[in-house]
Amino acid sequence: MKHRIVVLGAGYAGAFAAGNLARRLSPADTEITVVNAVPDFVERMRLHQLAIGQDLAFRKLADVFAGTGVRLHLARVTGVDPERRTVAVTGEDGDGELAYDTLLYALGSSVAHHGVPGVAEYAFDVTGLSSALRLRERLAGLGEGGTVLVVGEGLTGIETATEFAESRPDLSVALAARGELGAWLSPKARRHLRQAFDRLGITVHEHTGVEAVEPTRAIAADGTSIPADVTVWSAGFAVHPIAAASGLEVAETGQIVVDRTMRSVSHPDVYAAGDCAYAIGENGRPLPMSCASAGSTNMQATAAIIARLTGSEVPTIGLKYHGNHISLGRRDAVFQMVDGDVRSKSWYLGGRTAARLKSGVLKGAGWGIAHPTFGMPKRKRRLATTPDRVGVRVAA
């Protein structure tokens, strides 16, 4: 019987992982299935562009995995039973179960409401395709002088506010930041960021925590009312409670607690990658939810799965966070490197050069997804007679 590998989620982490597994493992021994709720690969890093009205072409996952041997199962995951090694799903064909021998959990994250009243009812977000399309429709109907408030001073909030202001100069765009805008950046990069906000006419409400959202305004912690025909919530991410409900060991965030090889510390047949993995980086801190972390954790997870199944030594992949690359519309960006303690280095890159670099990163990620088995070895690795399912052999 073939070894059944099931990958949950076909985002940046899951799609890359499925391709790597298909590249390196022999189809004579393994069966790889990817479960995803929608038929397209969604470039999450570009959803703010989609929301403001730009036309983006998403790749069909059926085309992405065509000829790779990877099976695509379009369904929504409703539960995981790690004791029985099954995944419960629901889709157009009804409810069902998928059995696995090895599970790679890469379901990503969604917007975190933080229990703020009115966010679920009245706010919009750009963390998923359906929510971005809902926001796109709302913004398309917003006339000249309409007010948009972006809540959150993180990467998503900054990119969303600048993209909206550049694409729709007829709108009045504001951003509410709990602290200082770009506080984590180096002084020169922070100055560049502020100049971009000034150039685009974005109003910044610093040291402003939003504690309620209403249909036409947001209420700050001090009682100040901020007008907003549209409130875009980008104040952090949260993972789906499926992992916690399944009995897998999770952190307070709901992320799956993994060891250095991305293996669940409670269930050795389960691996996690991307936003849903509580992975400790080389600096001793949890990796942030980001596309960069999705890349390193999926490479480590797939390397560990392949090594253990083929009886090889498990290699270690670097788990470092190298920096922030922030788009400021289509013609400007900031690229800020950080040190091992995630402190910004004095050097930064800004302007059109940084924007071209960011565009290259996005195009490279998209190309990699579209060619998941590029450079496929002619000789694929066969499984060991007794794959390592419990022991840990990590290379120094």
- In this predicted structure, the answer to whether residue 310 has a pLDDT above a threshold of 70 is yes
Whats the size of the chain, residue-wise? Answer: 396
pLDDT range class, residue 385, cuts 50, 70, 90: low
- In this predicted structure, the answer to whether residue 42 has a pLDDT above a threshold of 60 is yes
What's the predicted TM-score (pTM) here?
0.91
∠ Cα 338 114 343 (to 5°): 10
pLDDT score, position 182: 93
- Quick one: CA dihedral 287, 289, 291, 296, positive or negative? positive
Q: Average pLDDT over the chain, rounded to whole?
A: 91
Please, are residues 315 and 307 in contact by the beta-carbon 8 Å criterion?
Answer: yes
Average pLDDT value for residue range 235-259:
95
- In this predicted structure, the answer to whether residue 396 has a pLDDT above a threshold of 50 is no
- Can you read off the two tokens belonging to residue 79? 């539960």
- In this predicted structure, the answer to whether residue 105 has a pLDDT above a threshold of 90 is yes
Using DSSP's 3-state secondary structure scheme, residue 342 falls into coil
d(CA 126, CA 344): 26
pLDDT score, position 391: 38
Share of the chain residues as helix, strand and coil, in percent rounded to the nearest 5: 30, 30, 45
- In this predicted structure, the answer to whether residue 157 has a pLDDT above a threshold of 60 is yes
pLDDT score, position 394: 35
User: For the segment 314-339, what is each residue's pLDDT rounded down to a tens digit?
Assistant: 998 888 777 788 999 999 999 988 77
pLDDT score, position 362: 85
Average pLDDT value for residue range 307-313:
94
